[in-house]
Amino acid sequence: MDFPSKLIENAVEELAKLPGIGRKTALRLVLHLLKEESEESFLLAEALVKMRAEVKHCRECHNISDTEVCSICTNPLRDRSLLCVVSDIRDVIAIENTGQYKGLYHVLGGVISPLEGVGPSDLHIDSLLERLPNSEVKEILLAISPTMEGDTTAFYLTRKLRDNKVRITSIARGVPVGGELEYTDEITLGRSIVERTVYGKV
Amino acid sequence: MDFPSKLIENAVEELAKLPGIGRKTALRLVLHLLKEESEESFLLAEALVKMRAEVKHCRECHNISDTEVCSICTNPLRDRSLLCVVSDIRDVIAIENTGQYKGLYHVLGGVISPLEGVGPSDLHIDSLLERLPNSEVKEILLAISPTMEGDTTAFYLTRKLRDNKVRITSIARGVPVGGELEYTDEITLGRSIVERTVYGKV
């Protein structure tokens, strides 16, 4: 694709580096910005630069934060006996949005994946083991996606954590709310039968 | 959706203003930028700001350009007797990419659309009529999308242009190359029969 302007081409190239955005979509975005007030482009650019330059990772849980220690870790209303281990910042946002969890978090920053060259030392596992002895944590909830890598990570963590006197739990696996039995895969449906709960307990 | 950081939230809000990008996609882009080197974010922001601040519209044809008059209008190799009228900058890029057109352009900046409050005076029609008398243009090729608004605009233009001694042509309508006859809509197929061409002429 040839562009009539080097400036446009440059902006398209930079936008097309983002995941899921090709050159055609990038051009559409650039032409949209050209039609809007120039302030729109400046606000967008400023927000991106400021975000990238100033965002911190919480010293305690490695969640993204505007401060040294994040608003969840410093919140006196959170339950300090419960610690939820997730792989990614997105998982924290997803769990927070349920409104069902009032404990603390620990973000690993990924999952163990030998294929992609990610080992335990690349994740925030050491800092998890370090923060436990001096904490009030009584239960660790592993909320890691049930993929091959996720399960490997969870298995590794349970091995590492068993010396600490904490209860280790996992989020429930089963048929999704609103899901149809006949379209659920056999493994999920099988586990939902093995790990059946007493009616009315939830 | 709650975000753990105001900076993230701000960046997501700004990105989500772009067409076709919702808050979930915006968050994915922001987290991608956070994972990449911070230089990536700065380059993107710089490209956007520079593009918006410095891009000009060609004085002659209203195409986007880095200079007062665009590289197509100043190119001595282009055929100055042929002028292609399009509604949008994207159409110029699409036609340039075919490599089949060597004339000049005139970008209207939209189509006449009473429903959206776009009248002839909102488009670059006056400047088209002004540039014709002092030019070498002998043929005007209307390359406007065959929608209701596009056809209205083309009809308006042919009325306005008939006093100038120029030949007015339109891009051919017909069955797309590689298209199946049975899946072509009746109007297109009908027009392709009425406006049939001599075999081997193209």
Which segments within A40-177 are labelled E, that is strand?
56-57, 64-65, 79-86, 103-107, 139-142, 167-170
Residues 74-93 of B with CB under 8 A from A: 89-90, 92-93
**B122 CB-near residues (< 8 Å, 6+ apart):** B109, B110
Q: Which fold has domain B64-170?
A: Dna Topoisomerase Vi A Subunit; Chain: A, domain 2 (3.40.1360)
A75 confidence band (pLDDT: 50, 70, 90): very high
| Structure letter (DSSP) for residue B113 | B
Q: Which residue has the tokens 């040294």?
A: A68
Ranges of CATH 1.10.8.420 domains, chain A:
6-53
Alpha-carbon distances of B90 from A82, B86, B188, rounded to whole Å: 55, 9, 23
Q: Is B15 on the interface with A (CB under 8 A)?
A: yes
B37 at A interface, C-beta within 8 A: no
3-state SS, residue A170: strand
Helix-helix angle A38-54:A23-35, to 10 degrees: 120
Residue A108 distance to chain B (closest CA, Å): 14
Is there a contact between A52 and B65 if contact means CB atoms under 8 Å apart? no
DSSP-derived secondary structure letter, A27: H
Q: What is the pLDDT of residue B1?
A: 66
Other C-beta atoms lying within 10 Å of the C-beta of residue A74: 13
Please answer yes or no on whether A51 and B38 come within 8 Å at the CB atom.
Answer: no
Tell me the average pLDDT across A48-64: 92
For B67, name the nearest residue in chain A, comparing CA atoms only.
A5
d(CA B111, CA B122): 9
Determine the pLDDT at residue A183. Answer: 84
Distance, CA of A40 to CA of B158 (rounded, Å):
37
Q: Decide: B27 and B16 in contact? Cβ < 8 Å.
A: no
CB-CB neighbors (< 8 A) of B59 in chain A: none
Tokens at B89, concatenated? 């900058």
Buried b (16+ CB within 10 A) or exposed e, B113-151: beeeebeeeebbbeebeebbeeeebeebbbbbbeeebbe
Q: B-contacting residues of A 125-164, CB under 8 Å?
A: none
Domain B6-53 has CATH 3.30.43.10: no
Measure the CA–CA gap between A114 and B123, rounded to whole angstroms.
59
Residue A186 CB neighbour total at 10 angstroms: 7
Chain B CA closest to residue A40:
B14
pTM listed for this prediction: 0.75
Pick from B32, B63, B97: CB nearest A18:
B32
**Rg of chain B over all Cα atoms, to the nearest angstrom:** 22
In whole angstroms, give the CA distance from residue A134 to residue A105: 15
Tens digit of pLDDT for each residue in A163-172? 888 899 998 8
Q: B66 in contact with A at a CB cutoff of 8 Å?
A: yes
User: What one-letter code names the amino acid at B168?
Assistant: I
Question: pLDDT over 70 for what percent of chain A?
Answer: 98
Integer Cα distance of B93 and B99 in angstroms? 10
pLDDT of residue B200: 64
Residues of A in contact with B116 (CB under 8 A): none
Asked if A51 lies within 8 A of B31 by C-beta distance, the reply is no
Query: CA-CA distance, B170 to B161, in Å (whole number)?
Result: 13
- Which of A7, A36, A60 is best to mutate for the B interface (most B CBs within 10 A)? A7
pLDDT bin (cut points 50, 70, 90) of residue A82 is: very high
pLDDT digits (tens, 9 = 90+) for A136-157: 999 999 999 888 999 999 999 9
The string of DSSP letters for A118-148 reads B-GGGTTTHHHHHHTTTS---EEEE---SSH
- Which ranges in chain B are annotated with CATH 3.40.1360.10? 64-170
Which of A140, A143, A148 lies closest to A112 in space, CA to CA?
Answer: A148
Which of A4, A32, A89 minimises the CB distance to B92?
A4
Please check whether residue B64 is in contact with residue A9, taking contact to mean a CB–CB distance below 8 angstroms: no
Judge contact between B61 and B106, C-beta under 8 A: yes
Angstroms from B190 CA to nearest CA on chain A: 32
Which of left, alpha, beta for A161 (phi over 0: left; psi -120 to 50: alpha)? Answer: alpha
- Which chain B residues are closer than 8 Å to A90 by Cβ? 27-28, 31
All residue ranges of chain B with pLDDT < 50 are none
pLDDT per residue as tens digits for the range A125-137: 999 999 998 889 9
Q: How far apart are CA A198 and CA A195, in angstroms?
A: 10
